[in-house]
Amino acid sequence: MIADDIRIDGFDARSWTNLLSLFSPRLQVTDAGEAGPEPPQPAREASGTLVVVVDAQGRVLAALGSRRGRIDDVESADDLAALRERYGVRRVVVLREGVLEEIVERLALRVRRDDDYVAQWLALARIVREMTDAGLVRVHPRRWAGLPIPTAATVRRAVDVVLPDERAAVFTLWDGPQPWTAVVIRRRRGCIDRLAGPESLLRWTGPLGGDWRRDHRVIEEAVTRSCAPVHVGLYAEAHTFRRLLARPTAGHWALAVATRDLIVHPMPPYVSVALAADAARAATTRARRWGPTAGLFDAAGTLLSAVRARLPEVASITEILGFDPLRALEALQRREP
Amino acid sequence: MASRHVDRGCRDALKPLRCALVTGPLGTVRLEGAVLRLGSRRVPLRSGALHYWRLDPDRWSDALRGLASLGLPIVETYAPWSVHEIERGRFDFGRLDRRRDLGRFLDLAAELGLLAFVRPGPHVNAELTWFGLPERVLHDAACQARSPRQNPVLLPWPPRMFPVPSHASSAFLREAGAWYDAVATVLAPRLYPAGNVVLVQVDNEAAFYFRNGAYDQDYHPEAVALYRQFLLERYGSLEQIGAAHRRRYASLDDVVPPSRFDATGPDALAEHLDWAAFAEHLVATSLDRLCARLDRAGVRGVPRVHNVALGDGGLPIHVPTLARHVDLVGFDYYHTAREYRTVKRRTLYLCGTLGTAYAPELGVGAPPWFTPLTHDDSFFTALVACAFGLRGLNLYMAVDRDRWYGAALDAYGGARRDSASWRSLLAALDALRFERLERPAEVGLVVPPEYRRLSRVTHTLGGVLSAAALEALGGTPVDGCRRQTLGFAQPIQIAWWERLERLAEALTRLGIPYVYVDAGASPAQLRKRRLLLVPSYEFMAPASWDALVEAASAGSTVVWGPHTPHLDDAMRRRPFPVPERGWCAPAETDAQAGALVEELARRFELGPPFGIEPAPCECSLHTDERGPRALFVLNPSPRPVCATLRLPGPTVLHDALGDVRLEGSDRIELSLSARECRLFRVERHPNAAQSRQAPSRRAAA
């Protein structure tokens, strides 16, 4: 799924850190355009991971926090929930001494020469699951315990839906007339083989007009011409997109699309489904609270009709994906497990 | 202001070099600190990275001009084996693909007046798939490093995990030799003085390819054979090896390297410390073999360089040993601004241990799969490193390329928004002739390598999350060490690091300049310091102790503690003569360390000429034979600060990166932004005698 010769280019430090800041709360931005230092963490907010290494008798050999380094006063690793509470961490991982060495030994035996990077990581995930099931790795909270680890073929089928072969996905956020960050992702011969940043994008487009609601068409044409036909494009102003990621309110994504604060073009079926689900959630919530709200229904109505017409097509997509991509984005931003 | 720097920087970069290449006197290239001596000319060791094979050859000229316009006299590039090898034994240097025309690229650089620093590997990383090594070589079992169970050692690096080569494999060395022979056909005719190649790097970040836990690798049969040989040389006989390891060996084949840490007391430690020491020896041996092979290929006569990756505190390398095999060893710097103390410590270690601090890769941007770095992170790191004595640097990357973000120039050599900062810094270093300045430091914090080894073998998180990886991720190399005392009074594997940290903190609080000196550094480096502070516990390597005793005989004062050792690093009793000058002192709490440093400051009159308040602001003074020349003022905290700079007398400070002028008779007040480092040119006040009584003035800025 990831090409051996993947090309990643066209980012300066700002556009790259801006892009990552959307998904990493630690990389905060001070305004739409400037990356800033990490803000101080609220004292009571859980953060980071506590790692405790124990021997076969359960004695603590070492303990360290990802945010605070070595910790000397961890006496026991029996009660993980208590450790989590005491050290104010998001999760606790207890490792039996030598388990990491066991994992890499097994990995070396299982990875085949022709496995790609995703297949290699899936193999690693399966080994970690084995160690967890054997009690050599303990994690609290164990959010992913019930989830099966997909095969490489399943992941490939999901990627086929999100970004088919020989197609590109475009994501551009603006700060005033200039792109604040952008990324073009291309899939070719079954693999993601190109990630291009704003500088590459602007070389393909030439000078932009400065009105993002018009410029997005120029971008789509340029990407189609220079890279690959666009399968999905997402365009917005940076502050709008950050607000959307930060607000968990149902319906706000659908509303943003309906009011063209967020332009999705082309809009593949899975995005339609996600937006329709978002609108439906909002409608249900509001109906339950105050009865029908005309504004939202008006805005989302057209969208819902369009999606309803494609329901048979999108049902399989939801099944394959198994998640709502917009909810996943929100979760990432809020760092929900 | 900045644009004047650009033009002058560009002219200055090109003009004299062109003269040198065309008409300069012939001669060899010599390194004098961070200055390259080319015949009678001196060139500061400042370069910028550009990857020719990743750019359109029609753009090479623009990119090289852009690089020169930053004020850099040298272009640096890797020459990747996997790019040039088209099939086993067949190499292309431009006949099939113009992008591979290394010779034309170097000639073009020479035409533009640029010298060249070439890094032909064999390992280059360069964010290339397979780290620039041919895939066929990586999958040749004879070339692969081995785990304790004889499995290949996979590096989980994007975009594909791969089995890493063995530093001991002669099959790998043969393959690398064939590559050296091939690339030498391009490089050898272009070595200075016939051409513009003035520096060559051997291998890259050699330390087991980031799989560097003590028991991660290398159990390759040839590595095990070398281990036995290493032990034989160290102990002299099989019996002595057995005595040290507390085992009975019938033959050398019975000596098996440990595959996990299982010691519970001092008696069982020797074989683990030997294995850790052997890892360092293996890396050095590998470099030595590659150097010899480069010689044989005809690439010789110019200084050889080697770079050390992040996490040096936990890496299986010994810097002074590496420095005996190449001409210059430096550290790579990719740090966030939060890692200020790490940048400081690493630079001070290079200064104290080697005398010259050099960064073969001073990060300008980073790979996409690395900790995200902003421009402010990179620039602050560069300034902090310079503040504490970095004299030579290679901006990595100067020109943008695939699998990188944040280079100073775009892929066409065009200036990016942040390039002005780099241009301005380089112009300031030029104007100050920074490469010839010194940062006086009378105190050396001594790092005994045997304690680093103990930390490595007691690390509990394996090889992927190794001690070096923890340090590279912003922690320390002792964070993952087991806390058991192993039969000593305290867990030495952690205590030595903490003692040095406490002493460093106390020295910083009083503004006393210091460096870190590896106990294995040349005696001259130890003797340079008036005062040597060393952690010492129940055991210590005799070589480390003897070096301290010798330094004390030559006039240094040694303060050790908390214990006077009585065991060597094979845990055998032996006498440890007390140094001629010095004493044993505790520094096991912050209060003890503070009291000790205050006493030393009084006794040795260690007060700095410039001081700054409040903490944690720092200043760092650089001098030449005429006196103070440059002063760095730093605020490492995440909050803005109004600082007061105490002066030794009437002084004028010129902001070397701007146009601010500050003056004062005994103090200057100045505002510092969060995580800011400012560089000032220091001048004695023109009316020093008259203005001695003048009141201090607030900074105009």
**Of the listed ranges A140-144, B87-91, B319-323, B657-661, the one predicted with least confidence:** A140-144
Note whether A26 and A56 are same-domain residues. Answer: no
The model's confidence at residue B686, banded by pLDDT at 50, 70 and 90, is low
C-alpha span between B688 and B77 (Å, rounded): 49
Both A99 and A230 in a single domain? no
> What average pLDDT does this structure show over A47-75?
94
Residue A193: closest CA among chain B residues belongs to which residue?
B159
Quickly state the pLDDT bin for A318 (edges 50, 70, 90). Answer: very low
pLDDT score recorded for residue A306? 56
| Same domain assignment for residues A121 and A230 | no
- Cβ contact (<8 Å) for B160 and A120? yes
Judgement on whether residues A293 and A186 belong to the same structural domain of the protein: yes
Output the CATH code of domain B2-143+165-212+302-436. Answer: 3.20.20.80
A199/B403 touch (CB, cutoff 8 Å), yes or no = no
User: If you classify domain B611-693 with CATH, what class do you get?
Assistant: mainly beta
Please indicate if any CB of chain B lies within 8 Å of the CB of A14: yes
Q: Do B480 and A53 touch (CB under 8 A)?
A: yes
Average pLDDT over residues A292-310: 52
Regarding whether A83 and A57 lie in a shared domain, the answer is: yes
Task: Specify the pLDDT at position A328.
Answer: 53
Spatial strand order in the sheet of B667-672: B611-613, B641-646, B667-672
**Do A23 and A53 fall within a single domain?**
no
Q: Between chains, do B460 and A9 touch, taking CB under 8 Å as contact? A: no
> Is residue A316 over pLDDT 50?
no
Q: Which of A36-45, A246-255, B458-467, B556-565 has the lowest mean pLDDT?
A: A36-45
The answer to whether position A115 is within a domain reads yes
Of A2, A11, A17, the CB nearest to B374: A17
**Do A25 and A56 belong to one domain?**
no
Structure confidence at residue A245 (pLDDT): 86
Residue A40 belongs to a domain: no
Is A6 an 8 Å CB contact of chain B? yes
Instruction: Flag whether A176 is in a domain.
Output: yes
For residue B347 the two structure tokens come to 């630079």
* pLDDT at residue B221 in the model: 98
CB nearest to A37's CB, from B462, B478, B674? B674
A98 and A127 assigned to the same domain: yes
A186-195 average pLDDT score: 96
Within 8 A by CB and 6+ apart from B678, the residues are B632, B633, B634, B655, B657, B670, B672
CA distance A179 to chain B (A): 14
Please, are residues A61 and A55 in contact by the beta-carbon 8 Å criterion? yes
Specify the pLDDT at position A246: 81
Which of A 24-43 lie inside 8 A of B, CB atoms? 24, 27, 35, 37-38, 40
For residue B656, what are the contacts with CB-CB under 8 A and spacing of at least 6? B428, B431, B432, B630, B679, B680, B681
Please give the residue of chain A at the shortest CA–CA distance from B215: A101
CA–CA min distance A318, chain B (Å): 28
- Is B698's pLDDT higher than 90? no
Q: Find, in chain A, the residue whose alpha carbon is nearest to that of B478.
A: A70
Q: Please tell me the distance in Å from B115's CA to the nearest CA on chain A.
A: 27
- What confidence tier does B701 reach under pLDDT thresholds 50, 70, 90? very low
On whether residue A43 sits in a domain, the answer given is: no
A49 touches chain B (CB under 8 A): no
Both A125 and A268 in one domain: the answer is: no
Residues of B in contact with A105 (CB under 8 A): 147-149, 151
How many domains is chain A partitioned into structurally?
A: 2
Give the separation between CA B431 and CA B425, rounded to whole angstroms. Answer: 10
* CA atoms A276, A277, A278, A280: torsion sign: positive
- Chain A nearest-CA distance from B43, in A, is 30
Task: Check residue A142 and give its pLDDT.
Answer: 86
Residue predicted with more confidence, B686 or B607: B607
Secondary structure E strands in B587-637: 611-613, 618-624, 627-635
Could you tell me if A130 and A250 lie in one domain?
no
The residue-averaged pLDDT of A294-315 equals 52
Kindly report, residue by residue over A112-167, the tens digit of the pLDDT.
999 999 999 999 999 999 999 999 999 999 877 778 899 999 999 999 999 999 99
Q: Is the pLDDT of residue A50 over 90?
A: yes
Lowest mean pLDDT among A302-306, B458-462, B670-674: A302-306
pLDDT band at B169; cut points 50, 70, 90:
very high
B394 or B25, greater pLDDT: B394
pLDDT of residue B6: 31
- With contacts defined as CB-CB under 8 Å, which chain A residues touch B402? 7-9
Q: pLDDT tens digits, residue range B122-167?
A: 999 999 999 999 999 999 999 999 999 999 999 999 999 999 999 9
pTM: 0.91
Residue A63 and residue A105 share a domain: yes
**A163 within some domain:** no
A118 touches chain B (CB under 8 A): no
Could you list the residue range(s) of the whole structural domain that residue A68 is in?
49-154
Tokens of B172: 């790998």
Interval A249-273 mean pLDDT: 90
Q: What is the mean pLDDT of residues B178-191?
A: 98
On the question of pLDDT at A35 being above 50, the answer is no
Which among A3, A4, A104 has CB closest to B463? Answer: A104
Distance from chain centroid for Cα A1? 17
- Final residue of a domain: which of A123, A154, A185? A154
A174 and A322 within one domain: yes
Rounded to the nearest integer, the mean pLDDT of chain B is: 93
Task: Please enumerate in sequence order all residues whose Cβ is within 8 A of that of A268, keeping only pairs 6 or more positions apart, or say none.
Answer: A162, A231, A232
Ramachandran sector of residue B203 (left: φ over 0; alpha: ψ -120 to 50; beta: rest): left
Local confidence band at B609 (pLDDT 50, 70, 90 cut-offs): confident
Phi/psi for B103 (5° steps) reads -60, -45
Taking only the tens place, the pLDDT of each residue in B40-78 is: 899 999 999 999 999 999 999 999 999 999 999 999 999
Model confidence at B7, pLDDT cuts 50, 70, 90, reads very low
Residue B555 has pLDDT above 90, yes or no: yes
List of residues 6+ apart from B19 with CB closer than 8 A: none
pLDDT at B691: 42
**Contacts B480 to A, Cβ<8 Å:** 53, 62, 64, 70
B695: confidence class by pLDDT, cuts 50, 70, 90 = very low
Tell me, yes or no, if A95 comes closer than 8 A to chain B by beta carbon. yes
Mutate to test the interface with A, among B59, B405, B459, B493 (most CBs of A within 10 A): B405
Q: What's the mean pLDDT in A224-229?
A: 97
Residue B120's nearest CA partner among B53, B167, B63, B62 is: B53
Rg (CA), chain A: 23
Which of A269-278, A324-333, B57-66, B289-298 has the least mean pLDDT? Answer: A324-333
- How many CB pairs below 8 Å do chains A and B form together? 153
Cβ partners under 8 Å of residue B583, min gap 6: B559, B560
Nearest residue, CB atoms, A116 vs list B148, B160, B481: B160
pLDDT at residue B675, rounded to an integer: 96
User: How does residue A289 score in pLDDT terms, banded at 50, 70 and 90?
Assistant: low
**pLDDT for position A284:** 72
Residue A44 lies in a domain: no
Place A27 in a pLDDT band, splitting at 50, 70 and 90: low
Closest partner residue to A12 (CB to CB) among B139, B417, B462 is B417
Higher pLDDT, B23 or B649: B649
Question: Is A103 inside any structural domain?
Answer: yes
pLDDT tens, position by position, B514-545: 999 999 999 999 999 999 999 999 999 999 99
Region B583-603: what's the mean pLDDT? Answer: 97
pLDDT at A281 (0 to 100):
77
Quick one: what percent of chain B has pLDDT higher than 70? 94
Q: Quick check: B493 and B482 in contact, CB under 8 A?
A: yes
Q: Across the interface, which of A3, A13, A62 has its CB nearest the CB of B480?
A: A62
Q: What is the mean pLDDT of residues A62-80?
A: 94
Point out the domain boundary residue: A104, A122, A154. Answer: A154
Is A100's CB within 8 Å of B464's CB? yes
List the structure tokens of B416: 């990016």
Tokens of B65: 């001009």
What's the pLDDT score for residue A251?
Answer: 85
Of A9, A13, A117, nearest to B373 by CB-CB distance is A13
**Residues forming CATH 2.60.40.1180 domain(s) in chain B:** 611-693
The interface predicted TM-score (ipTM) is: 0.89
**Residues A15, B405: C-beta atoms closer than 8 Å:** yes
Q: Which two tokens stand for residue B422?
A: 């780099």
Higher pLDDT, A36 or A271: A271
CATH T-level topology, domain B443-604: Rossmann fold (3.40.50)
Identify which of B375, B402, B479 has the shortest CB distance to residue A8.
B402
pLDDT at B181 over 50: yes
For residue range B327-344, list pLDDT tens digits in order: 999 999 999 999 999 999
